[in-house]
Amino acid sequence: MNYLLMARLQEEFHLKMRAAHYAVNTEKSYWHWIRRYLFFNNMRHPNEMAEFEVSGFLSHLATREQVSPSTQRQALSAILFLYRKVLGKELVIDNWIKPKRSRHLPVVLTPQEINLVLSKLDGPFLTIAQLMYGAGLRLMEAMRLRVKDIDFSRNELTIRQGKGAKDRRTMLPLAAKDGLMHALTHCKQLHAYSLTEGITHVDMPYALAKKYPNAGKELTWQFLFASHNLSIDPITKRRGRHHIHEKNMQNEMRKAVIESGIQKRASCHTLRHSFATHLLERGQDIRTVQELLGHVNVNTTMIYTHVLNKGGRGVISPLDG
């Protein structure tokens, strides 16, 4: 496949991904796996390949590269998207080597460890961490909060377009209120400055940019944790103000854990794991926790029952009496 065909395939892929409203990060990941698939098969055009080549690539990932089941599933999803949505071909792939599935229990911090980590954070990063632990938010759900999603009078947060493109409501932790008010003030200042500079673009989900063409001028649509720096929208190519990059929060969290001296592989997502576990330890109903987390299936929430603070399955060691 020559360079021109590759460029056309890539352009068509990006158009289909955006028409299907996939996240930009998913779009990048999918194209990464499609490129890997094409290079693995000596850059043959995907129209010249089918189930046999796809199965060979997936088996290679499992046996040679020893990827995890989730990584292999993402590669499969990317390739199937290419064939079904871009090339209009249906594949039935049922014969490939799958990596052995291992079930890892989530890392959970104790309330004392949570307080220690939070004490090492400041500014917007402290508030973001408080929301992840205090309301069970995923990292990107916190980063993508807009001014309109915060209801101070009802102490309520609205999560828009969470995992699975679902909306949900959860509590606004009282301890995070001051930080949120400070973030809102900072957001107002940055937005006012942007308007004086003629910057009126803000990233909008799906077709809302057409429905609300002046949304970028309104404070209500601005990201609460707004970045100091302006950036170029990768899709519209317009200059505007996005939210703080999630890697900044990940780096701050990593440093806070190290400075706390905690000997656990804790990350931003650990705060969400700890939220669910601590609620269950306090006797909260698992269905309520499921709803707050935004899980479709209660079985996903059930994993937290295996890390409750009850020792080895709640059994008292004979050494202790």
Does 189 reside within a domain? yes
Whether 179 and 30 share a structural domain:
no
Q: Which segments of 136-267 does DSSP mark as H helices, in order?
A: 139-143, 177-196, 208-211, 246-260
* Total domain count, the chain: 2
Does 180 reside within a domain? yes
Query: How far apart, in whole angstroms, are the C-alpha atoms of residue 159 and residue 142?
Result: 8
Whether 75 and 117 share a structural domain:
no
Model pLDDT for residues 13-54, shown as the tens digit of each residue: 999 998 887 888 899 999 999 999 999 999 999 999 999 999
Model pLDDT for residues 152-199, shown as the tens digit of each residue: 999 999 998 767 667 899 999 999 999 999 999 999 999 999 999 999
**What 3-state class would DSSP assign to 90?**
coil
The answer to whether the CB of 154 falls within 8 A of the CB of 192 is no
Query: How far apart, in whole angstroms, are the C-alpha atoms of residue 54 and residue 207?
Result: 34
Say which CATH number the domain at 12 has.
Answer: 1.10.150.130
Which of 71, 86, 101 terminates a domain? The answer is 86
Say which CATH number the domain at 196 has.
Answer: 1.10.443.10
Residue 230's H or E segment, with its range, is strand 226-232
Whether 134 and 80 share a structural domain:
no
Does 94 reside within a domain? no
DSSP state of 160: -
For the annotated catalytic residues, the residue numbers are 138, 163, 269, 272, 295, 304
Does 13 reside within a domain? yes
Given this model, what pLDDT does residue 73 score? 93
Whether 56 and 194 share a structural domain:
no
Q: DSSP assignment of 107-130, as one string?
A: P---HHHHHHHHHT--HHHHHHHH
Whether 74 and 143 share a structural domain:
no
Does 24 reside within a domain? yes
More confident residue, 163 or 83: 83
Whether 174 and 301 share a structural domain:
yes
Whether 78 and 204 share a structural domain:
no
Does 314 reside within a domain? no
Whether 116 and 75 share a structural domain:
no
Q: Which range marks the domain in which residue 191 is found? A: 111-305
Q: Which segments of 44-89 does DSSP mark as H helices, in order?
A: 51-63, 69-81
Does 25 reside within a domain? yes
Query: How far apart, in whole angstroms, are the C-alpha atoms of residue 228 and residue 309?
Result: 41
Does 316 reside within a domain? no
The structure tokens listed for 181 are 């008010």
Whether 148 and 48 share a structural domain:
no
Query: How far apart, in whole angstroms, are the C-alpha atoms of residue 107 and residue 269?
Result: 9
The answer to whether the CB of 272 falls within 8 A of the CB of 307 is no
Given this model, what pLDDT does residue 186 score? 96
Cβ count near 177 (within 10 Å): 15
Model pLDDT for residues 241-292, shown as the tens digit of each residue: 999 999 999 999 999 999 999 999 999 999 999 999 999 988 888 999 898 9
Residue type, 200: T
Whether 166 and 253 share a structural domain:
yes
Rg (Cα) of the chain, in Å, rounded?
Answer: 23
